[in-house]
Structure 1
């Protein structure tokens, strides 16, 4: 219990420092107040035109599509991650070495940084855009299953962090890993459901996506928000898909630990 309390205090301290540091540049975050609604408006007109009066397409009604993109945008503000970029910079500049002298695991430090950074995003991105979507656009932005939605967003928060941290660790082998990151960002944008709901992909692709991390980063929490989940022709109860999302997060956490240990052996071996 004492250890947990100590870790919580450390996380709170790092998160607070990160919040204060980034709050000096909060105008950067506030740009999202304009970008988010503009993206939403574009999606609204595209999908309104695509439906053309149809009741539903691929099992999704127009109202569900609109709610989906609103939820996807808002969830993105809460789960956005930069651990890969930070870790790559530390490795390239040699500053990662200093963390071997600190009484804190770098991954925990990076996670604490994300907590502080995303709390800033909650205040200056999520809340303003939530009000714009709800009051200005009249979209019902209340989750159908609040408890399950919160849990799914928490899992998405973890999935985004651990996946990006794994990407950052590639810099231990490839000092310049920005190319890998760009490829991943492209794949993530396409296959996480950020650009288009995954039910519009061929069914064979949808089945494969169950075994990749991408859907659990955005599509799953957004669909849980709407109160329904279906993919690859499977209509899955909300508790079941959230449980599957939790299992996926657990697998990625274990993978992250294995890669971290291998990275440390490589780091100590070659003296990067």
Structure 2
């Protein structure tokens, strides 16, 4: 499995490196979106000192960290899987001695390895020196572990959405709806602590917070949601358990979904 991971990641890296100008466009997307957040929150804080217990500097730090994490965990497993199922090309993977899930994860590893130096590092430097956003983790080791777990969680959640194509054939509509729900529930659009307490408690038991919110709070150095406060090691342990649960969910959906595959379009 490690040889497969290395080989597929290397091939994917080389493939996307040939189109690196396409990825380089995202260098403008992250900073521009952050600039929009900067203008919005500057207007909000013009009439108050704090929002949800956060001052302007803390709010901008939150969004700056999210911007960088996005480049580390970006994933397209849902789109790729539903495309393979819809066109029937998924049939070829059933004949291979490697599970498609492991193959897709290996592809993501190669894609994000290229994105690390082509997207993440330049954007992090822009935010650090251009906007003076503090991106230095309070606990570097725990931050690396948490981002690694969010990398896996993002993949597993998206892969489960892609698996719905076994029943729907074309999962484009549900993907769009899910992405909006995922970003809202993961704290991408607004910090989760700004949501009502009852909703925060619900989000605590859902997998979405472990994609972005948890690694962001680990980098900041403190965690709190829905009145629940945990130390950094504790929340990272919970994140690891959530990743394991999500893997089991993906395995169950795979076993159920593969029975419905008819090779449409093949």
Q: TM-score, normalised by structure 2?
A: 0.95
Task: Report the alpha carbon displacement of residue 16 of structure 1 after superposing the two structures with TM.
Answer: 0.9
* 5+ long unaligned stretches in structure 2: none
Aligned mates of 2:133, 2:93 — CA distance in 1? 46
User: How many Å separate the matches in 1 of 2:53 and 2:139?
Assistant: 19
Aligned counterparts, 1:92-241, within 5 A: 92-241=86-235
CA apart distance, 1:150: 0.8
- SS of the residue corresponding to residue 230 of structure 1 reads strand
CA contact (8 A) 2:186 2:192 kept: yes
Q: Which residue of 2 aligns with 1:43?
A: 37
Q: CA RMSD in A?
A: 1.4
In the aligned structure 2, how far is the partner of 1:69 from the partner of 1:129? 13
Among residues 46, 69, 72, which one is paired with 1:75 in the alignment?
Answer: 69
| Number of residue equivalences | 264
Q: Distance in 1 between matches of 2:47 and 2:229?
A: 24
Unaligned stretches of 5+ residues in structure 1: 1-6
* SS of equivalent residue, structure 1 residue 223: helix
In the alignment, is the contact (CA less than 8 A) between 1:12 and 1:112 conserved in 2? yes
Q: Is the 8 A contact 1:229 1:235 kept in 2?
A: yes
Residue 235 (structure 1) shift: 2.5
Take 2:91 and 2:72, find their aligned partners in 1: how far apart are those partners? 30
Distance 1:32 1:226 in 2: 25
- Work out whether residues 201 and 226 of structure 2, in 8 Å CA contact, stay in contact via their aligned partners in 1: yes
2:4 is matched with 10
258-267 vs 73-82, which moves further? 258-267
1:204 Cα deviation from its structure 2 partner: 0.9
> In structure 1, what is the Cα distance between the partners aligned to 2:13 and 2:246?
27
CA distance in 2, matches of 1:59, 1:224: 17
